[in-house]
Amino acid sequence: MYHSWWFITLLILICVNLIICSLERLPKTLKLINTPMKPAGETVIKTLPVRKELKVKANLKAVKDEFFNSLAASGFHVSESTEGDSAELYSQKGKYSRLGLYIVHLSILLIFTGAIIGARFGFGGFLNLPEGETSDVAYTGGGKTIPLGFTIKCNWYNTDYYRGSDMPQEFQSELVVIEGGREVLKKVIEVNNPLTYKGITFYQSSYGMIPNAAGVFILKVTPVRGTEHVLNVQIGDTFEMPGTGLKGTINGFSPALTRDPTTGNLITYSDKLINPAVLIQFSEAGKQSFTGWILKRYPETGVLPQGHKVEFFDYWGVEYTGLQVSRDPGVWLIYLASIIMSIGLYIAFFMSNKKIWVRISPDVSGGKSFVKISVGGSASKNRLSYEKEVERIIAKATGAIEERSKK
């Protein structure tokens, strides 16, 4: 559906509509932004959405200065005009916030562009890579082979489980990038932590068992007084605990060993490596000493009566790692557009173009002379909170005027 002609056509139509509408409105917005503010005059101030009027007993110049300061403290770059005895301060801020929605629209176009680039020049494929093997290609769902341009190798695959349960905690593979016969990059990838090389990204996505594979047991053996040795053995092989006469023979293996709760017998409950265990028969000076299962997930099972340790580190060569392989040259544009959209949304919703006019004129009432202050303002958004801001500006100015008159 999403690659069908009507869906693509719909997307293109949306884009065209968006471009045309935005371009049609943009000049008007730009004009709005670029028109300088003019003094408003008494009558216009009275019609503005935010308006306040007050009278103070002070000198006109002092009132003007304090309003100037208070406006400046709120981030307004104040202009001034005088007309006879009266003065008017006026200013605006945040005029570019009117561009927020254009930024959002632009980011939407960029996302479409990124998606098209990805669909046109990228690919999505997969690769099942057995432990120890390499590949120069990946495969698409349609059965196509995609050359990688380098060689990828899986050193090992491993599932970690939550302690005491069979819930996988992490799937991991160690991948190596080989180019010109040289190892150029090595990384352990996990779900949510892929490897990227030359624009191609390898994601841990699944795993499985290779049918009929003969694996290698990797044992880490440590004699009581001695250091750790790593041994690679196969089923039927015999190894020696270094420096002791103790010999061990690999007699059996279970990918998922457990004790049947009803019968008490040891059974294998899965063919995946959920709880791998190796059966080792130990003998000393030709005499059989004891036989026991050593479990990979429970290292305490590998502590022998004499104190030697046998750690069942891995059963290697029997699993493959399932990799999602993809290249998306458009993704950086998607991310860039996401950032632009976040910024645009912030501007569009949380910033506003605020205008203010403060008219200061001498006034006489009841035989006393006052200074009359008419404040008017408008905001492109959030009028209520702008009203509060205007109140704060006035309070700050009148407070300062009072301070002055006390002195």
Partner 1 sequence: MTGETFFTISGLSYLLAMVVYITYLAARKNAVGAAATTITVFGFVSQTIALLMRWGDSYNFWIETSPPTTLILSLLRSAPLRNLYESLIFFVWCLILIHLIIEFRYKIRSLGAFVTPLAALTLVFIDVSGTSKEIQPLVPALQSNWLLFHVLISFLGYAAFGVSFGAGVVHLILLTESREDKAYIFWSIIVGIFIIILVAMGFDFFSVSAAKPEEVIQNYFLKSTFRSSSGGIVAISWIASVAFLFIIWRYGLGLKKILTGLSLTADLLDEITYKSIAIGFPLFTVGGLIMGAIWANSAWGKYWSWDPKETWSLITWFVYALYLHARFAAGWRGKRVTILAVVGFITVICTYLGVNLLLSGLHAYGSE
Residues in contact with partner 1 by the rule CB under 8 A: 1-2, 21, 101, 115, 124, 160, 162-165, 167-171, 190-194, 201, 203, 205, 324-326, 328, 331, 334-335, 338, 341-342, 345-346, 349-350, 384
Residue that is written with structure tokens 């949380």 in the block = 350
Q: Say whether residue 33 binds ligand HEM (CB under 6 A).
A: no
Interface residue with ligand HEM among 218, 310, 348, 390 (CB under 6 A) is: 348
Judged by beta carbon distances under 5 to 8 A according to partner kind, the member of ligand HEM, partner 1, none in contact with residue 18 is: ligand HEM
Q: Are 103 and 343 in contact (CB under 8 A)?
A: yes
Size of the site for ligand HEM (CB under 6 A): 11
380 binds, among ligand HEM, partner 1, none (CB under 5 to 8 A by kind): none
The tokens describing 300, both together, are: 């305490």
Q: How far is the CB of 347 from ligand HEM (least distance, A)?
A: 9
The region of 63-71, 80-88, 100-108, 394-402 touching ligand HEM under the rule CB under 6 A is 100-108
**Closest-approach residue to ligand HEM (CB):** 21
In sequence order, the 6+-apart residues with CB closer than 8 A to the CB of 360 are 60, 63, 64, 67, 86, 87, 88, 89, 371, 372, 373
- List the one residue out of 94, 102, 144 whose CA is nearest residue 123: 144
Residue of 53, 58, 47 whose CA lies nearest to 390: 53
Residue 19: which of ligand HEM, partner 1, none does it interact with, CB under 5 to 8 A by kind?
none
The binder of 105, among partner 1, ligand HEM, none, by C-beta within 5 to 8 A per type, is ligand HEM
Partner touching 17 among partner 1, ligand HEM, none, CB below 5 to 8 Å by kind = ligand HEM
Q: What share of the chain is helix, strand, coil (3-state, %, to 5)?
A: 30, 45, 25
The window from 13-21, 89-97, 154-162, 304-312 that contacts ligand HEM (CB under 6 A) reads 13-21
105 lines the binding site for ligand HEM (CB under 6 A): yes
Q: 100 exposed, middle or buried (CB, 10 Å; 0-12, 13-18, 19+)?
A: buried
Asked if 394 and 66 count as a contact pair (C-beta separation under 8 A), the reply is: no
**Least distance (Å) between residue 98 CB and ligand HEM:** 8
Q: Are strands 277-284 and 287-295 parallel, antiparallel or unpaired?
A: antiparallel
113 φ, ψ to 5°? -60, -45
Is the C-alpha dihedral spanning 284, 237, 154, 208 positive or negative? negative
Residues binding ligand HEM (CB under 6 A): 14, 17-18, 21, 25, 101, 104-105, 108, 345, 348
